[in-house]
Structure 1
Amino acid sequence: MKVRDIKAFRVTVTFLLALPMTALANDDLSINGFLSVGASKSDADAVYYEGIVDEISFEPDTVVGVQLSAPVTETVSFTTQLLASGNKDTYDLAADWAYADFSVGENTSIRAGRVKLPVFMASEYLEVGAAYPWVRPPEEVYSVVPVSAFSGVSARYTGNFGNFDFSIEPYYGSHTESIPQPTGVLSTSVKEFAGASLTLGNDVFTLRAGGLQGQLTIPEVGVDGEELSLFSVGARIDWENVLIMSEYASRDIPGIIPDSEGWYAMLGYRAGKFLPHVTVAQLDTDEVTPLAQKQKSTTVGVQYQLNHAALLKVEWKNIELQEGSAGLFSTLPSDDKVSIFSASIDLTF
């Protein structure tokens, strides 16, 4: 971590840790914070997804944030998440999402503003490392749609179906962002996209599915208003000491960008304060082009609960590149088998 980045990180953390004192002066203000300090290192001679390199680096997995929520009226509230992330090459504080929530009846609400994109199981808490067992969620799935928020509107209806709770969340909006990819930074714009997600679950089992369609423009690769389609499905079983998680996502874009699909399956077992886990994952595209991303991986890790608010995680990931593809690396590594070691401390406050 560079000296300039360390100073910026310290200033940001100091500011965010001071916010709870502000909350004490306002009983209506709800505040929750989180911090992840991670380190990673690969043995490849190419840059991996989110900037992981062949020396110890803190930037890819270090993030600090705070979520604030306050009522405006009896039926309207405002929520925002302020975030400073190392994988953006700076720790400048920015609003990751911010929206007004309108309560419409007992089971229905409408959100307007910058809203989380409800595509994956971890979409609502993607930046909160303490909410999942890995140092980072499997990129073989989460890279399929490297967007976590959008500007627009969403609605949510909640209810019960037998012994299960369910929610339906349709949404509509647009998004523009510069997204780092193995081939460079892409100026990505998705307009007029619409989608929906469905979640069904109880204390043991959760099932989530969703899809979206929109108009995609990426000038760097000659994509101009192409139709983008996405489908995702995931499941989680948390029964006694056993934890099972799995997700699948597919992306369909006509034109030069190949269609892709990714999946993972994770098995974990809680033993006291320890949660050892194994994850297998694969990312595939339907053709071999300079933009093709084909890889499979196995991740072995352990999570240790330091206390009620802090977790320590250590994991090793072995990646096998497929069919001459660079996978999620910036360029083709000299070896098609790569190991990545990662560790993090995740806090909530």
Structure 2
Amino acid sequence: MNYKKTKISLLIAINTIAITSVYAHTFKLGQVGVDLSGFASTGMTVSSSTTPYAIPGHGTVDNHPNFATPSLLGLQLSADLGSGFSAVGQVVANGDSTNGHSAFNLTTPWLYLAYKVNSNLRVSAGRMQLPSYLYSQQIDVGYSYPYAFLPNEVYRIIPFYSFNGIKADYTFDLNQNWQLTLSPFYGQNDFKYDAMMRLNPTLQDKITLNAKAYNLIGSSIDLNNGSFSLHGAYMFSKVDVGATVQNKTINRKGINAQFLSLGANWNIHNLMLSTEIAYRKADPMASLLGEYITVGYSTHNWLPYISIANLHTTNSDTLNNPQNWPTEIPENQTTLSIGLNRYIAQNIVLKGEYSYIMPHNGQSGLFYGIPNGNVSMLTLSASVVF
């Protein structure tokens, strides 16, 4: 069985409702046809530092072997309601303890109703995945990408992945090979996120901020031809953030936040190339620019790869200005990763990944504190779709 071709088809399935639909199990609920599918990951990760390293959506990593951070289970139900209507729901439990989450509590990233207007246009309303990244639609489905964790320098830039609102997907064929999808959306989201804050000249601390994004408007665009996929996104939002810091309530309302991303994945013969860049502007909070590039080579159900990622804060002068304290501190780091995947079945992959994380100039990077120099991180995991 050619698992490599299955892998490539999953990597480019950016525009599908769910990556796991490939393995959906269909049954009847009354007169309604229902597809049930799922995905899971498990494993162990450990670093060389006592300072916790934050991977939003998964958890934290330090020098104690951690079996919660790489672990998750997700189930998805898709129901055909007839007359062009369908409903999609997804529940996920994972080991994430970042951004105010409790490990292994059930979350609902997807819960929406969709209407297929015609063969090209689908309109959805409810809770949906924010189409901000190349891998947004399968962000929890570890089988669909080579990494143990998606590159943190890019996928941490937006502190939430779902939104409540409406979205339209308009798909049309440019010719017999190329397909284009436009997906405008509008909505809002209440969320929490962890930020390393500068409280005074000598004190930095992790603060969990309560936040609300509203008037969230934007669009994504996807272009693919079966071996090449291109994803771009832009969105604008008003954001309110608040926290209690040293018994003092801090509120900042009406922050103008913008986000822009562009990513591409190219599979040619046995070679896989993937790259993505994302930018968040959110003065007076941290404005971030992140990018990564990955090269892999698939052979005999093995996929070795190497990846380099970088995160840079573009408004460090604003953040370092005492008049703005307390505010986020600059987040600058580079990560070099090498990994090896082994596809032992059509829907199961074993992964090993070593990452060397280099915070810049003695800063904290994406750690909860300042680590003692550069940090090594090792992850061994398995991912499955069913």
TM-score (norm 2): 0.82
The one-letter code sitting in structure 2 at the alignment partner of 1:61 is P
1:172 aligns with 2:186: yes
State the distance in 2 between where 1:21 and 1:254 align.
47
Alignment of 1:156-235 (within 5 A): 156-162=169-175, 163-182=177-196, 183-220=206-243, 222-235=251-264
Root-mean-square deviation (Å):
1.7
Worse overlay, 110-119 or 69-78: 69-78
**Residue 154 of structure 1: which of 163, 167, 171 is its match?**
167
Q: Does 1:69 align with 2:83?
A: no
Q: What's 2:368 paired with?
A: 330
Do the aligned partners of 1:184 and 1:330 also contact (CA within 8 Å) in 2? no
Residues 223 and 309 of structure 1: is their aligned pair in 2 closer, same or farther, counting only changes over 3 Å?
same
Q: What is the identity, as a one-letter code, of the residue corresponding to 1:267?
A: V
User: Among 268, 273, 283, which residue is 1:244 paired with?
Assistant: 273
In the alignment, the residues of structure 2 paired with residue 222 and residue 248 of structure 1 have an alpha-carbon distance, to the nearest angstrom, of 30
* 1:51-200 aligned within 5 A: 51-88=60-97, 89-162=102-175, 163-182=177-196, 183-200=206-223
- Secondary structure of the residue aligned to 1:219 is strand
Q: Deviations over 1:144-198 (max 9, x none)?
A: 1121110000000000123310100000000011223442322121011100000
2:351 and 2:27 map into 1 onto residues whose CA distance is: 30
Structure 2 match to 1:47: 52
Does 2:324 align with 1:297? no
Residues 1:271 and 2:271 are matched in the alignment? no
Aligned equivalents of 2:253, 2:69: Cα separation in 1:
30
Counterpart of 2:303 in structure 1: which amino acid?
A: L
Q: Secondary structure at the match of 2:383?
A: strand
Aligned-residue offset at 1:22: 9.1
**Contact 2:33-2:81 within 8 A present in 1 as well:** no
Q: Is the 8 A contact 1:38 1:135 kept in 2?
A: no
- Are 2:43 and 1:38 aligned? yes
Deviation string, structure 1 residues 34-88 (Cα, Å, up to 9, x no partner): 1100211111121101311111112222110011100122210000111111114
Deviation digits for residues 281-338 of structure 1, max 9, x if unmatched?
0000021645210000100000101111211000000011112320000001122x11
Give how far 1:25 is off. 6.3
The alignment partner of 1:29 has SS state of strand
Unaligned 5+ runs, structure 1? 1-19
Asked if the contact 1:204/1:238 (under 8 Å) is kept, the reply is: yes
Q: Quick check: 1:112–1:153 contact (8 Å CA) kept in 2?
A: yes
In the alignment, the residues of structure 2 paired with residue 307 and residue 110 of structure 1 have an alpha-carbon distance, to the nearest angstrom, of 36
One-letter identity of the residue aligned with 1:167: T
Contact 2:147 2:353 (C-alpha < 8 Å) held by counterparts = yes
3-state SS of paired residue (1:319): strand
Separation of aligned partners in 2, 1:233 and 1:90: 31
1:341 maps onto 2:362 in alignment: no
List, as ranges, runs of 4+ consecutive aligned residues in structure 1 with deviation greater than 6 Å. Answer: 24-27
Classify the secondary structure of the residue corresponding to 1:136: coil
**In 1, Cα distance between the equivalents of 2:300 and 2:28?**
35
CA gap of 1:23–1:95, structure 2 versus 1, over 3 A, is farther
Conservation of the 8 A alpha-carbon contact between 2:25 and 2:37: no
Structure 1 counterpart of 2:290, one-letter code: G
Query: Shift in Å at residue 254 of structure 1?
Result: 1.9
Q: After superposing the two structures, state which structure 1 stretch, 52-61 or 207-216, moved more.
A: 52-61
Residue aligned with 1:87, SS: coil
Query: Counterpart in 2 of 1:281?
Result: 309
Once the two structures are overlaid, the 10-residue window that deviates more, 56-65 or 115-124, is 56-65
User: SS at the partner of 2:291?
Assistant: strand
Task: Evaluate the alpha carbon distance shift between residue 258 and residue 90 of structure 1 in structure 2; reply closer, same or farther with a 3 A threshold.
Answer: closer
Deviations 1:191-243 (A, max 9, x none): 11100000011111111111000001111364311100000000110111101
- In structure 1, the partner of 2:3 is none
Deviates more, 1:237-246 or 1:289-298: 289-298
Q: Among 345, 349, 374, which residue is 1:307 paired with?
A: 345
Confirm or deny: 8 A CA contact 2:25 2:36 kept in the other structure. Answer: no
**Inter-partner Cα distance in structure 2 for 1:21 and 1:72:** 17
CA distances 1:71-116 after superposition (whole Å, capped 9, x unpaired) = 1222100001111111143323332210000111220011100011
Would the aligned equivalents of 1:116 and 1:150 in 2 still touch at CA under 8 Å?
yes
What is the aligned partner in structure 1 of residue 200 from structure 2? none
SS of 2:143's partner is: helix
